[in-house]
């Protein structure tokens, strides 16, 4: 007869490992690609001086967010015309490895630097530079397993502000918003499996939806739905924004999808039926300049240009507006908004259509802060455009 105590201990160890893995944030917008963490029990109220930083670092200029997996935190930055992918110990900030490659800062009406966020898939991490430099790195050691220069390989046009897509892993494929309507590569070898034209790309990341392997690509001038396996087009809907800037993620809810762009374009809710898109509503109440909205319990929370807003998802009507944030970024966990204001103030507030009522707020960084904060395993990771990183302890109550 097997030892029941040993079996119980083994089950507990497995449960702990599973719980830790479940709280990892291993890709852009999190495990469910919606900006929502399943984490609970984290600290939502802080003393007046704010939560104590666990560690700080400097990673160079850029707007890349964080991926956290298996005790490691990854992000990217640019210094001296060089991009660097950093891997830190998630708890202590100890630098585990870094990988660098030549890339111009490409400052154009903004600071420049890196855009995409590393994507962790098992023992590998995938990164895309703004000039099309794609790397597959060993997640633990940082060694290059394979690389591709997609601009040279595919002859695709580089967007005005450089590629901004993070890698989406679907089965054995990596999907990227590169080319007219996306590109897919074999994640094991880097071989191109399919690509849809050489036209200029959008600035978002491919978004899966439904249950049949469909992926939406927010291209430069339209939303295109394709099959992940072969890139075959399923349907498309026009979405033209000034300067071809469409960076925010499309947000799906059943057969409805919300789109939003800045430059006074606005937002719209579309209904997809029989491969055709029809407009449910369209207005200028939510103009996402770059950061994506979050859909929670029937309401959209996001940045309308330089103010935080809540909209009714079904109708597009404004529920409330908060102007103190500027052009910020946000995540959501346990029904709470985690808001990073443009000037480095971190706020936590209940996600409610009744108003923005912060539970806590603290100045955690200075300078421009446009990057999405990440909550993973009781810690919040934040950065500014200059590349100053801070990790805050949010464990317990």
Q: In whole angstroms, what is the distance from residue 340 CA to residue 44 CA?
A: 14
> Which residues have a Cβ under 8 Å from the Cβ of 4 and sit 6 or more positions away?
none
Judged against a pLDDT cut of 80, whether residue 22 lies above it is answered with no
The residues near 254 (Cβ < 8 Å, ≥ 6 apart) are none
For 53-88, letters b (16+ CB in 10 Å) and e give: ebbebebbbbbbbbbbbeebbbbbbbbeeebbbbbb
Residues 130, 161 contacting (CB under 8 angstroms):
yes
Q: For residue range 265-292, what is the model confidence (pLDDT) as tens digits?
A: 999 999 999 889 999 999 999 999 999 9
Do 85 and 92 form a contact (C-beta atoms < 8 A)?
Answer: no
In angstroms, the CA 54 to CA 89 distance is 11
DSSP string across 60-118:
-BB----EEETTEEEEEEEETTEEEEEEEETTT--EEEEEEEE-----SSS---B----
Structure tokens given for 310 = 């809540």
Q: Are strands 318-322 and 329-333 parallel, antiparallel or unpaired?
A: unpaired
Q: Band of the pLDDT at 216, cuts 50, 70, 90? A: very high
CATH code of domain 25-393:
2.130.10.10
Over the stretch 134-180, which tens digit does the pLDDT of each residue have?
A: 999 999 999 999 999 999 999 999 999 999 999 999 999 999 999 99
Secondary structure (3-state) at 170: strand
pLDDT score, position 18? 35
> What confidence tens digit (pLDDT) does each residue in 179-201 have?
999 999 999 999 999 999 999 99
The structure's pTM equals 0.93
């Amino acid at each position: 007869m097997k030892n029941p105590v040993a079996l119980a201990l083994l089950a507990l160890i497995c449960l702990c490992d599973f719980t830790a893995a479940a709280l990892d944030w291993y890709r852009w917008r999190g495990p469910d690609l919606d900006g929502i963490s399943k984490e609970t029990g984290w600290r939502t109220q802080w003393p007046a001086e704010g939560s104590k930083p666990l560690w700080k670092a400097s990673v160079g200029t850029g707007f890349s967010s964080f991926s956290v997996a298996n005790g490691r935190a990854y992000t990217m930055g640019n210094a001296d015309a060089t991009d660097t992918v950093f891997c830190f110990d998630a708890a202590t900030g100890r630098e585990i490895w870094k990988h660098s490659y030549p890339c111009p800062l490409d400052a154009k009406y903004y600071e420049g630097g890196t855009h995409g966020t590393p994507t962790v898939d098992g023992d590998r991490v995938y990164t895309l530079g703004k000039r099309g430099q794609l790397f597959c790195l060993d997640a633990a050691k940082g060694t290059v397993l394979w690389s591709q220069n997609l601009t040279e390989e595919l002859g695709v046009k580089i967007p005005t502000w450089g590629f901004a897509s993070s890698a989406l892993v679907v089965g054995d494929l990596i999907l990227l918003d590169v080319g007219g309507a996306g590109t897919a590569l074999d994640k094991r070898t880097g071989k191109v499996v399919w690509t849809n034209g050489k036209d200029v790309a959008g600035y978002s990341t491919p978004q899966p939806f439904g249950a049949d392997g469909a992926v939406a690509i927010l291209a430069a001038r339209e939303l295109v739905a394709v099959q992940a396996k072969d890139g075959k087009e399923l349907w498309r809907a026009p979405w033209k924004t000034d300067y071809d800037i469409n960076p925010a993620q499309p947000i799906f809810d059943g057969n409805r999808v919300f789109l939003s762009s800045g430059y006074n374009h606005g937002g719209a809710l579309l209904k997809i039926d029989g491969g055709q898109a029809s407009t449910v509503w369209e207005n200028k109440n939510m103009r996402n300049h770059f950061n994506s909205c979050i859909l929670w319990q029937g309401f959209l929370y996001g940045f309308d240009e330089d103010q935080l807003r809540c909209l009714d998802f079904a109708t597009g009507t404004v529920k409330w507006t908060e102007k103190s944030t500027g052009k910020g970024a946000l995540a959501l966990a346990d029904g709470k908004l985690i808001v990073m204001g443009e000037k480095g103030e971190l706020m936590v507030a209940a996600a409610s259509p009744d108003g923005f009522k912060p539970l806590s707020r603290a100045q955690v960084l200075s300078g421009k802060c446009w990057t999405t904060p990440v909550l993973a395993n009781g810690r919040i990771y934040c950065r500014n455009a200059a590349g100053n990183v801070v990790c805050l302890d949010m464990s317990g109550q």
